Structure 1
């Protein structure tokens, strides 16, 4: 029976399925593997089911390696150096498709919460500071009919676009590095700067890491409309976080809704102090049935590797 390491606790159904087939070690810890711990895991396990925060950097692959597959729990895998893994003979997979709708739903949650100042409103009520309804109290941004700009028109970007167009009658613009044909009314713009300047609400859905690191720069944030709303459901490293903080502090943009941060779980004090930001603890896929489906998909990739088949979700 092959040895499998799961680096963070998964739903019970996922753990039961793993135990039925493998000699399972569950690392029941809140934080991800360090580089040294990742290297040790690669030496001692046949298969690993890692997730966000596990540091499978190039340095983790420099020693002897027993592991044959990293079946990542999550669609994003910028915590894994895929090139180093391949060079070491380690296959890598992720869990796309099953996360699409849940992540898009969180995108809409952040759009509505940020535009309508829901976070501020809840804090006001909880603090017992609400003095009652008034015609000019906490006026926010009307969502219906606003132009949304999607950065990255993959599965999640298209799911957000559908919700915006069909649910809220929003014109959809998008920026994608390659030409993209989509099955909904949407217009592709040629540059990221053009998208930032034309949309009322920006939603970032690109993968993290690589060429996307820091793509939402101070310059791009500066191109946004005054009062524009910025939403990030991608990865924290896609955004220049200090530049975003500055744009929010000086009122250059109207607000932000963030489900991801540059150095999770650390969130800058400056962000937490701002009223015009909605902050979520990376809830994109946090629904039980979605997490169970992710666990099964990751396990299916391990089983495919074990049986000598092509990984269904290889990256």
Structure 2
């Protein structure tokens, strides 16, 4: 699009900024509660809300309190939550077998939410790192992360989550070929209604640090994830990965992290026109919250502005730890 602009003073851009009503009429992009997905951390226990030091204001919840959070989300109009388990070290093994245990923490939480708040969309994470003694998203043998063997395990994990009642599966592992394998297995098992939101463009980012604390993976991780997550300097590769995942059956795609990769969000949306999401990850949250808590920024305004940036970049929705706060702000307007 090439806009036509009359010369000054015929054209005065400030005319449409003069009052709040005029600014509202001319606003191009809007933020809605319907754009939000709330990531929630679940742990064992009862009546637990355990603060996460590196993510002020975010807690690990026992299943009963996750159900309360689900009710809160529904009451606020947040359409979906995404579950991430904080697993005890005793169930972290090299074979990651807890990942597909029908009674693992995530699957029990899914069933509990669906029993109490059936209309809420429940999204889950597909990756082995919460269950891996070495902290990686895939099987590790002699220091190498195995691709094809990991994909077989991810299929088992996905089927267990689908059986539990998950609405959206979020493969975050970045193994090659996993979307096609997951889609085929879900269809064969009668779970054709279960959607896949692929972490299609997931970068090997330093912004994930607080999240790894939150799920207890930081201490377990051996080495780095550079052999399977994307290099931050790559952009065209992201489009190739998105195209591949769509061709294999992904219903939605995600860019992760969020704000440092808004250019990727825009390119993905322009190239494919598919439902496109971003994850405002733990490091982004911690920076905004830390600056707000110290009085260096107006936290509420910065949060809303940051989420509008995702919408402006073409995202249909955002996973954000600020979801309840933003929903309340939007309701109050």
TM-score by length of 2: 0.29
Structure having the higher helix fraction is 2
TM-score by length of 1: 0.30
